[in-house]
């Protein structure tokens, strides 16, 4: 990407002034990260800046890369009172894809004695892979209750503890979900997929806290160097994908009916207040609840497996955060509070210290933010910054971000060889798909250290700890 078109606001913020029906654009990241991005990222976020009712700038996070509609790592907020829109292309197909992070109460020395057995046990107990069904099958009536209740439904059915809900965004349930706006076909795809990881970049990873960079926040998060954590990365599975597919069509028709000039057909949208906009929001929120319930069930399965190998181990929820959503949130703009529909496509909500939505335990230091790395490279745990509210509506990076397509990765790496190389480094990979392992090769992603440093440098979230992988179960 040619940065000569941008005005550098500082070392980590780059602005492109608005004009000709387009709002401003701000890209977050250091010069090297942005220079390496495809020009398609700028084209896509520039198109977002032309959508009606946008408040402030259209933004990309340091891990941004080309996507469908919005770039992955795109953030934009819209005001319904000013004709603001909701776009399925601004949420993505894997609605509420996110990460559940668990403290295990174990340390690396204890894990090392049973690591291979634990890896094998997790591979058996955690269903992973394209189209893979789980141990829990639900009927259509029960699924409607899942879509309305989210993680709260799962806890009520014994898949976890009530205290889990305190450490999940929105207490484990999105208000305003409307299962009647989800098609029968979307529901049919989910009946056997509750409690499953899926494929692609979804994973369950056992990690060790390798370095603590912010002692105060680490203490609040209940972690120390040498502690073992678990991260579960997945979303709403086939149901979310079907919702996204179907509503791209209905929202495109709504845009045509209402005379909205779409700069890109992938940005199919409708006014938030329109019948089509409300229908999508109801379905999308049902998709959020599906994902929250899914991760809650997977956390239960993980606890059960750890309990078999480490009797008495108490796996607590550190936090659960989504990164493919549109949420109605109060934000202060130009001196007054407004309700904005914030699209975060491959971006994480990152409330700063003192925010009333945070658990009391974390309120003094800010919301836990997880930047997931690629298979074998490690991840970062961060905390939201106060300045992130004004800069990006309290949003931050969600992962390392791809720098190479899956097809290019397949041409460069072989899954079996990659798994063997990682094993030599003490990282155990368990997967049924050698192709999937090659697609998710560490070299196919940006440098997670640089992304985390840029996220901190931009004032979006500050680094708390680096997590080194030990076991990865994936599709």
- Show which residues are catalytic: 398
Task: Please count the other Cβ atoms lying within 10 Å of the Cβ belonging to residue 431.
Answer: 21
Asked if residue 371 lies in contact with residue 380, where contact means CB atoms within 8 angstroms, the answer is: yes
Sign of torsion, CA 376 377 382 388? negative
Residue with tokens 């680490």: 218
Instruction: Tell me the DSSP string of 337-367.
Output: EEEEEEEEESEEE---TT-TTS-GGGTTT--
Record the tokens describing residue 113, joined without a space: 């004695």
Residue with tokens 């913020």: 13
CA distance 406 to 285: 29
Record the tokens describing residue 351, joined without a space: 């409330």
Order of strands, edge to edge, in the sheet holding 72-78? 7-10, 13-16, 25-28, 54-65, 72-78, 336-345, 324-333
Asked if residue 462 lies in contact with residue 381, where contact means CB atoms within 8 angstroms, the answer is: no
Residue 60's closest CA among 37, 89, 85? Answer: 37
User: Any idea what DSSP says for residue 212?
Assistant: E
Asked if residue 448 lies in contact with residue 380, where contact means CB atoms within 8 angstroms, the answer is: yes
User: Any idea what DSSP says for residue 468?
Assistant: E
**Ranges of H-type helices in 126-224:** 140-156, 184-190, 215-221
The residue count of the chain comes to: 475
Instruction: Tell me the DSSP string of 417-431.
Output: HHHHHHHHTT-EEE-
Residue with tokens 């697609």: 439
CA distance 144 to 155: 16
105 torsion bin: left (phi>0), alpha (psi -120 to 50), beta (else): left
CA distance 139 to 366: 40
């Amino acid at each position: 990407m040619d940065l000569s078109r941008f005005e550098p606001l500082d070392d980590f913020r780059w602005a492109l002034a608005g004009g000709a029906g387009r709002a401003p654009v701000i890209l977050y990241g250091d010069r090297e990260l942005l220079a390496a991005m495809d020009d398609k990222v700028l084209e896509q976020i520039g198109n977002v800046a032309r959508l009606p009712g946008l408040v402030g700038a259209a933004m990309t996070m340091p891990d941004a890369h080309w996507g469908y509609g919005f770039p992955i790592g795109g953030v934009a907020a819209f005001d319904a009172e000013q004709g603001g829109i909701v776009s399925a292309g601004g949420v993505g197909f894997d609605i509420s894809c996110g990460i559940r992070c668990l403290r295990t109460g174990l340390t690396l020395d204890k894990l090392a004695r049973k690591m291979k057995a634990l890896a094998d046990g997790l591979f058996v107990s955690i269903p992973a892979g394209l189209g893979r069904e789980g141990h829990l099958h639900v009927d259509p009536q029960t699924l409607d209750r899942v879509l309305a209740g989210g993680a709260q439904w799962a806890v009520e059915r014994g898949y976890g503890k009530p205290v889990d809900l305190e450490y999940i965004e929105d207490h484990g349930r999105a208000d305003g979900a409307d299962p009647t706006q989800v098609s029968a076909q979307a529901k049919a795809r989910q009946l056997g997929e509750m409690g499953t990881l899926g494929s692609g970049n979804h994973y369950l990873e056992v990690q060790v806290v390798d370095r603590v960079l912010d002692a105060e926040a680490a203490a609040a998060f209940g972690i120390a160097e040498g502690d073992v954590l678990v991260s579960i990365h997945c979303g709403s599975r086939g149901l979310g994908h079907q919702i996204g597919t179907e509503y791209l069509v209905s929202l495109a028709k709504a845009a045509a009916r209402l005379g909205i000039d779409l700069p890109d057909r992938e940005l199919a949208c409708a006014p938030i207040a329109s019948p089509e906009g409300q229908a999508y929001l109801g379905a999308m929120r049902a998709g959020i609840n599906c994902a929250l319930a899914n991760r809650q069930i997977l956390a239960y399965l993980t606890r059960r497996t750890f309990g078999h190998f480490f009797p008495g181990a108490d796996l607590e929820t550190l936090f659960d955060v989504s990164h493919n959503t549109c949420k109605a949130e109060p934000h202060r703009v130009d001196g007054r509070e407004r309700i904005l529909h914030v699209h975060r496509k491959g971006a994480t909500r990152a409330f700063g210290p003192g925010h009333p939505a945070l658990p009391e335990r974390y309120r003094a230091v800010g919301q836990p933010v997880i930047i997931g790395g690629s298979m074998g490279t490690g991840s970062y745990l961060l905390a939201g910054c106060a300045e992130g509210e004004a800069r990006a509506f309290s949003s931050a990076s969600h992962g390392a971000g791809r720098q190479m397509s899956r097809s290019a990765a397949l041409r460069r790496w072989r899954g079996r060889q990659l798994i063997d190389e990682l094993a030599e480094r003490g990282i155990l990979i368990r997967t049924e798909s050698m192709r999937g392992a090659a697609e998710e090769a560490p070299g196919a992603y940006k440098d997670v250290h640089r992304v985390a440093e840029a996220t901190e440098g931009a004032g979006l979230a500050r680094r708390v700890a680096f997590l080194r992988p030990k076991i990865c179960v994936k599709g």
